[in-house]
Structure 1
Amino acid sequence: MLSYLTDDFYNWTRKVCRNALLKVLAAGPVPLHIAFVMDGNRRYARMNHKLAQQGHTDGYETLTKMLEVCYYLNIKCVSAYAFSIENFKRDPEEVNALMRLAAEKLEELSQHGSLLDQYGVRLNIVGRKDMLPEDVQVAARQVEDMTRHNSRAILNLCMPYTSRDEMTTAVQSAVRNALKSDPPNLEITEKDIDAEMLTNLAGSPPVDVLIRTSGVKRLSDFMLWQSCEDTQLHFTPTYWPDFGLTEFIPMILDYQRKAWARSSL
């Protein structure tokens, strides 16, 4: 009994301290849009003698924790690279497990009292939704419809997604729109393409901070258009399921330091 009370008090104290720290950080400049490349789930699983599916499940738990932190900081938009189009080339058993996990977690997010409900978050599935299994498409439509009128924050779950596919689709849409005009507009501008990007259609600002875990230093076809010259890139050796405030807070502090430096020019 005493051990239970001690653990309970420890967790309460830890949460109070965390929230106090986040409140201080939120008083400074914070990014409008943070993007996560959630890499390292499988290597984390191997290192901890777990199945790959458990690594992805643990990775989802990390995502929910980081979303809560981001929304507590009043960050307007979070984008998470959940599944690349290229990931369909992986072992079918792992792909099927990921799709089951996606359907299960999307259904959880659509429930009253979920994280999205608590923080007034609009969820967008960004990518080729037609490539998803039917049950995942149904769950995606349900949570998108239920959160459509939420306006405090945005969560973009990018699945299945690649930047090249998004840009190709945006160019095609811009051309179709131009040809429909009367008379046809034969000049396609950057603004025309930008307006058709999936994240813009979802109301997302450009990416301010892009974070990739697991020590890999490449963007892997993620948010290439949305990453402007001011986007700060952070690469950490930590596997995604182990990612937390220890890694995240220095990145926010670095963003604030650079924001203050720009404002003083």
Structure 2
Amino acid sequence: MSDLYFPHFRSWLMHSPPAEFIIRKLRELLIGGLSQGPIPRHVAFVMDGNRRYARNHKIETIEGHHLGFEALARVLEICYKCGVKVVTVFAFSIENFNRPKYEVDGLMQLAKVKLEQLIQHGELLDRYGASVRVLGERDLLPPDVLEVIDRAVSTTKHNKECVLNICFPYTSRAEITSAIKSTVDEYSTTLRPHSTPFSQSRITQKILSKQGDGSEMLSSIRESSPPPPSSRSDDLDDSVSSTTTLQPDSSPLKQEADSNITIYPNAETITAETLTNHMYTAGDPPLDLFIRTSGVERFSDFMLWQCHEETQIFFLKCLWPEFDLWHFLPVLVEWQRRQKQKERDGLPRRRVKQA
């Protein structure tokens, strides 16, 4: 067969009903086999390479982003079928606002359209019980996009099995800054005021409760106390008491209120866990797997706090619109192999693999 017609024949063959049926069954078989082993609970994706894919295929940049959203739908189904509980995707960086205005506006409209489709046709999320959370700086988004985001979150909030975190717009520096601010606010809030156990008001109240009428006791205290020097007796008025004299007319409750102490949380108790509880991802399991496509080997200010000593990091050369089970499968197999090796060795490991 001529080389001119072979690509067309291959495309026709792969999209024929029998071939699609076989491929679908093979995918289900592979996913079922993977789910029998250990599965990461939390996976993060840097969806990189949409613009490069558009340039390589000579299509509009916004079309490349559109294909990237379609790739996300494929990846979500694979993750949820395997048993992943939380998927976090880097959809839009705060730094992306520095791109040309037409591209930023196009991305905002694309996000709005895709979220609206998610609301209208949410079978995928409902099938796996996944709720949507949008993490980032909301005040940077247009009102119409915020409205769609709120509807998407509200529509899926009843789902409790899985979570889809969409970081939009987001940077780790902004997240960490927000966590520090909220921690400062928490530790600057006074606790419930309470009096000291040995305050003067408590002692007075205790004496009066035991003696019944406190006036007799106070009189006896005054009579038994030595008289003041004559030089001082002329200057002092009988209505003024010294610091050791209890006034029978004073209210114990008033004295106790005066002795209340304002208490703040102890700043020495702030730990890394405290900040973790103030991150956007608070309540999510630790990050097990970090994947970035397009061959770029950097974090780009994404999930810097969540990456820890046991997070496994993979930089893949494929572009995000190309990402599919056949790219994800080797990553999951390698992750499972490392987990089993770690269980055998009993030592945590962290490696960076370029695929």
Pairwise same-fold verdict (TM > 0.5): yes
Task: Say whether 1:58 aligns with 2:140.
Answer: no
Q: Identify the match of residue 38 of structure 1 among 15, 39, 47.
A: 47
Q: Distance in 1 between matches of 2:52 and 2:93?
A: 17
Q: Secondary structure, in 3 states, of the residue corresponding to 2:69?
A: helix
User: By how many angstroms is 1:113 displaced?
Assistant: 4.2
Aligned to 1:111: 120
| Counterpart mapping for 1:1-265 below 5 A | 7-182=16-191, 183-185=263-265, 186-187=267-268, 188-200=270-282, 203-265=283-345
SS of 1:61's equivalent in the other structure is helix
Q: Does the 8 Å contact 1:39/1:212 carry over to 2?
A: yes
Q: Tell me the matched-pair count.
A: 260
Larger radius of gyration: 2
**Cα-to-partner distance string for 1:107-162 (whole Å, 9 max, x where unaligned):** 11112543212211011001112211111111110011111121111100000000
Task: Give 5+ residue unaligned stretches, structure 2.
Answer: 1-11, 192-262, 346-355
Q: Distance in 1 between matches of 2:98 and 2:339?
A: 41
Q: 1:113 to 1:169 in 2, by over 3 A?
A: closer
Report the secondary structure of 1:230's partner residue: coil
Residue 181 of structure 1: how far off its partner (Å): 3.6
2: CA distance, partners of 1:172 / 1:222: 19
Q: TM-score, normalised to structure 2's length?
A: 0.71
Aligned to 2:207: none
Matched residue SS, 2:294: coil
The question of whether the paired residues in 2 share the 8 Å contact of 1:41 and 1:56 is answered with yes
Per-residue CA distance 1:151-188 (angstroms, 9 max, x = gap): 11110000000000000000100110011142112333
Q: Which runs of 5+ in 1 are unaligned?
A: none
Tell me the C-alpha RMSD between the 2 structures: 1.4
Structure 2 CA distance, aligned partners of 1:30 and 1:104? 32
Q: Which runs of 4+ in 1 moved over 3 A?
A: none
CA distance in 1, matches of 2:146, 2:50: 24
Overall identity of the aligned pairs, in %: 43
Query: Which protein has the bigger strand share?
Result: 1
Is the Cα contact below 8 Å between 1:108 and 1:114 reproduced in 2? no
Give me the whole-angstrom Cα distance separating, in 2, the residues matched to 1:48 and 1:205: 38
Q: Which amino acid aligns with 1:231?
A: T
| Contact 1:214/1:236, CA 8 A, preserved across alignment | yes
Tell me which amino acid in the other structure corresponds to 1:263: E
Distance 2:319 2:128 in 1: 27
